[in-house]
Amino acid sequence: MATSIWSGPLLLCLPPKDFERTRALPTCRDMLIETRTPRYARLMVAVALSALVSGCQILNPSDVRESGFQPSNNPVTVDNVTRNDKLAEIAKAQHPRILATYGGEYSDPKLERMVAKVVGSLTTVSSNPNQTYRITILNSPNVNAFALPGGYLYVTRGLLALANDSAELAAVISHEMGHVTANHGIQRQQKEAEEVLATKVVTDVLGESPTAKAALIRGKLRLAQFSRNQELEADGIGIKMSGQAGYDPFAAGRFLQSMAAYSDLRAVSGATDASLDFLASHPNAPQRIDLAQRHARQFGAPGIGRRDRDSFLAGIDGLLFGDTPDEGYVRGTTFMHPKLGISFAVPQGFVIDNTAAAVTATGPDNTAIRFDGVAIDAKLPLTDYVKSGWVAGLDPSSVRADTINGNEAAFARASAEGWQFDIVVIRNGAQVYRLLTAAPTASTALDQIARSVSSSFRVMTAAEKADLKPLRIRVVTVQPGQNMGSLAASMVGVDRKLDLFRVLNALAPGASVSAGDKVKIVTDR
């Protein structure tokens, strides 16, 4: 949860075509909840919490000016973007929104040089030698890379943390360069315009008839197939480019497998907004991995090409992993925000998801918690704020004033659409925070869960804030006597340590490490 603007622009999908759906201040209805429960249950919990809030005010201490998100004056580039390039101008206009969505640029000269070296190698074999590229590393833990028309390329620090060598990074970047050289962005805009027109014609002529619905479905399928074909074409172009540049062409299939394993891990453990990940906009399937390997075999058998593993690992050593200090940290079942100076905990069995708009947590039996901030008049009593109309189904008789660990607070209950809610509003200095807990009407656990969470809210000490450090990727050399279990156990601030260690180092079940190997761990040191 960010301090400068708690609800920065969010995208539900990744391609540039969806940017028009961004909003400066998403409401509570934009909330996405990740949990171990089935998709239907996750949806019902999200609906429940959005049913409670009829209109959210989001804390916005300072206005965000778009001028603050202009392209860097000193970005990682292979060459300057071609002047007077209309496609580049279109991309430049979208650049601020991308930066706002993905936490801005991530600055690390050592990392930037490593990435620029890979991009530079790929440009020497590009099918369009006149195309120049601008690469931006995004300060986001999500695993993603994408391109805009005109040669704007983006890769997140989350993706760099997952990759294991330069060849894998080259495979991702060359795939995105393939979209640029094949003009996929422009082609998709044209195709979508055609489908919008066709939809209007069908609706105007056929109305809501079964024939009309069938026609609209066919149109959507054509567009989906068109997008899928673009991805496969970019795969082919990218593997050819990376292979011609001398990189291991089998890296593409290898990294697709790593991303699939990462996605599976997130699905179980809970994570940040998965809609911002590569696989949300890049379809992944065993057949696609097989096709990537077949493209690679055109260069020869596995083992050809360079990986540049040592230089890649040197580049990512010290890379920020997970949340930034501006967003606060999740450590197991506790959320701590050193800049705001506050902390709270959720019960065991709950999974916390820290997003730009709010901190959410989901637990057993479809229970859910949401924590966010609001800006209200400092003179307004919290009980009056609770009654001001933003809570649907409020029980007015339940509203009461109290304190939580020395902080002014107000408590209330509400019910709506088969759900019951506990509402807690807490004032700390000039800031006001809200804790909303939801459970099905039949649940008897709401009060116990809500009191456990609200009573854990507290102000952090100066020593606690100073001791709280961000997590980073550290590259270590395996010592004699160490194994995957002991290396995973040395990681801090993460759950499912052994599983995460395997995914970060692309180690299949049954694999082992040997003395002298270089591996990645997550630590705050």
pLDDT-derived band at 41, boundaries 50, 70, 90: very low
DSSP state of 360: E
Ranges 139-143, 175-179, 257-261: which has the least confidence: 175-179
Residue 37 has pLDDT above 90, yes or no: no
| DSSP H helices in 207-250 | 210-244
User: In angstroms, what CA-CA distances link 187 with 85, 90, 110, 223, 236?
Assistant: 17, 15, 36, 11, 18
**Using CA atoms, how far apart are residues 202 and 181, in angstroms rounded to an integer?**
34
The predicted pLDDT at position 209 comes to 56
Find out whether 473 and 321 touch, Cβ atoms under 8 Å. Answer: yes
Angle between helices 309-316 and 109-123 (to 10 degrees): 140
Q: Helices marked H in 182-329 — which ranges? A: 184-206, 210-244, 251-269, 278-281, 286-297, 309-316
Name, of 126-135, 206-215, 350-359, 426-435, the range with top average pLDDT. 426-435
Q: Cα 369 to chain center, whole Å?
A: 20
Max Cα-Cα span within the chain: 75
> Average pLDDT, stretch 216-240?
63
pLDDT, residue 87, reads: 63
| Backbone CA torsion sign across 409, 357, 159, 115 | negative
Tell the residue number behind the tokens 């315009």, with chain if given.
193
The answer to whether 285 and 520 have CB atoms below 8 angstroms apart is: no
Q: Mean of the pLDDT values across residues 246-251?
A: 96
Residue 498 pLDDT > 70, yes or no?
A: yes
Q: State the residue for tokens 């859910």.
A: 368
Does pLDDT of 15 surpass 80? no
More confident residue, 2 or 197: 2
The predicted model gives 273-299 an average pLDDT of 73
Conformation bin of residue 496: beta by default, left when phi > 0, alpha when psi is -120 to 50: left
Calculate mean pLDDT across residues 265-274.
60
Is the pLDDT higher at 46 or at 521? Answer: 521
DSSP 397: G
**pLDDT band at 69, cuts 50/70/90?**
very low
| Token pair listed for 189 | 């805009």
CA distance 26 to 33: 15
The yes-or-no verdict on residue 184 having pLDDT over 70 is no
Res 125: pLDDT: 85
- Please check whether residue 392 is in contact with residue 377, taking contact to mean a CB–CB distance below 8 angstroms: no
Q: Kindly state the average pLDDT of the residues 117-139.
A: 84
**How far is it, in rounded angstroms, from Cα 78 to Cα 98?**
20
413, 395 contact by CB (below 8 A): yes
Question: Cα–Cα distance between 84 and 498 in angstroms, integer?
Answer: 51
Check residue 315 and give its pLDDT.
97
The mean pLDDT of 4-29, rounded to a whole number, is: 25
What pLDDT shows up at residue 124?
86
With a CB cutoff of 8 Å and minimum separation 6, the contacts of 130 are: 82
Strands (E), 111-189: 134-138, 145-148, 152-156
CA distance 182 to 192: 17
Lowest model confidence (mean pLDDT) among 76-85, 428-437, 476-485: 76-85
Q: Mean pLDDT of all residues in the chain?
A: 77
218 pLDDT above the threshold of 80: no
Instruction: Provide the CA 358 distance to its chain's centre, in angstroms.
Output: 14
Q: Say if residue 73's pLDDT is above 50.
A: no
Q: Are 277 and 263 contacting, i.e. CB atoms less than 8 angstroms apart? A: yes
Confidence of residue 409 (pLDDT cuts 50, 70, 90): very high
**pTM for the structure as a whole:** 0.71
The enclosing H or E element of 475 equals strand 471-477
Residue 359 pLDDT class (50, 70, 90 cuts): very high
Q: Please determine, for residue 81, whether its predicted confidence score (pLDDT) is greater than 50.
A: no
Q: Say whether 431 sits in a helix, a strand or coil.
A: strand
pLDDT at position 21? 27
**DSSP code of residue 1:** -
Mean pLDDT of 84-99: 74
Q: What is the pLDDT of residue 421?
A: 96
Residues 235/253, Cβ–Cβ less than 8 Å: no
Per-residue three-class SS string for 27-59: CHHHCCCCCCCCHHHHHHHHHHHHHHECCCCCC
How far is the C-alpha of 20 from the C-alpha of 465, rounded, in Å?
38
* Secondary structure class of 488 (helix, strand, coil): helix
Lowest-pLDDT choice from 128-142, 256-270, 327-341: 256-270
Residue 355: predicted pLDDT: 75
354, β-bridge pairs: 359
Q: What is the rounded distance in angstroms from the CA atom of residue 36 to the CA atom of residue 378?
A: 39
Element (H, E) at 173: helix 166-181
The answer on pLDDT for 379 being more than 90 is yes
Contact assessment for residue 495 and residue 334, using Cβ atoms and an 8 Å cutoff: no
Q: Which residues pair with 520 in a beta bridge?
A: 475
398 CB-near residues (< 8 Å, 6+ apart): 411, 412, 413, 414
Model pLDDT, residue 33: 26
**Could you tell me if residue 296 is left (phi over 0), alpha (psi between -120 and 50 degrees) or otherwise beta?**
alpha
Identify which of 473, 122, 479 has the alpha carbon closest to the alpha carbon of residue 314.
473
Predicted confidence at residue 441, as pLDDT, reads 95
- pLDDT for 76 equals 36
Least confident window among 149-153, 199-203, 248-252:
199-203
Question: Mean per-residue pLDDT for 300-318?
Answer: 95
- Counting residues of the chain whose pLDDT is more than 70, the rounded percentage is 70
